[in-house]
Structure 1
């Protein structure tokens, strides 16, 4: 199965995290992350969204429980030999290598140049492109997953159109527009 490391910037916006993980639940791909990635997500969510740390820890625990094998271990020794424009991103590529991922899904494409990723057979993919690829590969499954995701929202209730509007604000506008074109 196609495996991807989800960078912290993809797991930070709640609605985008929920969407990506909903598609992973539909077995469209295998999500991967590391403790370092989840720590970064946790720090940012708590600082920027003023979320109760205990509540967000529960979210992270549910993610790990729901996706057996998503947590990549033994990546630390790989970091030393990696060269990226931002040394703080080396742990993400190390997790991809250790986890056998084919891609890193990230908004920060400039931090993951193809030249540095090619020797490891890893690509960097923007979330909008990644979601569009999933839609191209399995449109019915993606649409079904999105409808199920929207139906989970109760307060306030949300339909597919509302979900797409929120995803658009999460910087995946082409995906939102393509789903609208197909489904609405």
Structure 2
């Protein structure tokens, strides 16, 4: 290849490798060579694979979230327009799903122009919390007097810890219930 493409061999990048962090450490040499060569863009199969992986995770988490809502009694009481509005507010409609096309370099670049890998990963990670917000909003619509009770997390090491914690939470719920219906966050 050195003879077919002049100046394609990059040298002097080795000292950069140890200072780079990537999900796959075996890919650091490619990034180091690109930095050394002053490359403005690296498009690899790894980017395409990562976009496909994120797209799959997005679809899976969306399906899980819709499934959770379908089992929620408050969600079941809402009209389709109300459901759509709540999903739309959290950017969880099908129209809000990032468009992923990876059949060519141009498609990968176009996809990344609209949604970077970091942004896509953040959206996927935020989906459970967004579905929680939708469920809370549905509860507020159906039960205007509802109170949201948060149960702080604790590390429990013994059965006695579990029993004591269960009593604390039970008392917390009973106290809140005196003021009206509750929902646990």
Q: TM-score, normalised by structure 1?
A: 0.28
Higher RCO by CA contacts (8 Å cutoff, separation 6 or greater): 1
Q: TM-score, normalised by structure 2?
A: 0.27
